[in-house]
A and B are shown apart, each in its own frame.
Chain A
Amino acid sequence: MSKSKASGPSRYELLFIVPNNYTEDEAKTIITKVEAIVTEQGATIAFREFWGKKKLAYIIKQNHYGYYSLCEFDAEREAIAKIDRTLRLSKEVLRHQIISIPVVTEVERAKTKEKQEQASAKNDKKEEKPVKEKMSKPGISAPRAEKNESNKADLKDLDEKLEGILNAKDLL
């Protein structure tokens, strides 16, 4: 980053999580509140995306789920610290992260998404192939593979059951 670049406004990306103890409508009002905090500091919002309710990879403050929302905006450097501070103090936002990003047009955004999907689809195919080859080999290896599969299925069932129980607890 050169010094001359820091003088003007630059593009930032804010991703934040609203805890699951709010309903989806309440979460959306909180998101508009957060956007108001951002615009108060003289920033202009360029892009917003609501990801909906997602499972958190780990429990944060006894929350298993959260509403993710993404927001891109142009702001001065000094404004970021203020936005960061207000979001850190607010109890309605479980977690947030602001990072600087290059400016992306709508067309480019769509293209990158396509590329990501294509790339991941390719890799999924690659991963499937070696498993199949192992399965087709005759002899001792075949029954072993079957056993592994059944174990995996059991684990999946268990995971689903666990999730169901956890959801029930959230409702209480």
Chain B
Amino acid sequence: MNNKKQKDCFFCVNQLDVDYKDVRTLRRFINFYMKILPGDRTGICSWHQRKLTQAIKRARVMALLAPTHK
């Protein structure tokens, strides 16, 4: 049973590339505990979801995003 609504991919709709320096956008796809949200929650297409996880991890390395909440 497919109860979850299919959302439009944020990056496809806005014709944006995933950028690890754009923290404001990445924040949308992280929960309170700074965990990366799964693809069915974010509604992002699988191609962009893979790019997104990579970008979030890169942002964490450069201390642009915290790996956990306080």
Q: Which A residues are within 8 Å of any B CB, using their own CB?
A: 15, 17, 56-58, 60, 66, 68, 70, 95, 97, 99, 112, 115-116, 118-120, 123
| B63–A119 touching, CB < 8 Å | no
Count A/B pairs, Cβ under 8 Å.
45
Query: Can you name 21 A-B residue pairings with CB atoms under 8 Å?
Result: A15-B21, A15-B62, A57-B60, A60-B63, A70-B21, A95-B62, A95-B63, A97-B58, A97-B61, A97-B62, A112-B16, A112-B17, A112-B19, A115-B14, A115-B15, A116-B19, A116-B22, A116-B24, A116-B25, A119-B14, A120-B24
**How many chain-B residues does the 8 Å CB contact rule pick out?**
21
The CB with the most chain B CB atoms within 10 A, among A97, A112, A116, A118, is that of A116
A70 to B17, CA, bound (A): 18
- The secondary structure that dominates the B interface is loop
Q: Check if B65 is an interface residue, CB within 8 A of chain A.
A: yes
Q: Check if B45 is an interface residue, CB within 8 A of chain A.
A: no
| A95–B61 touching, CB < 8 Å | yes
Q: Check if B28 is an interface residue, CB within 8 A of chain A.
A: yes
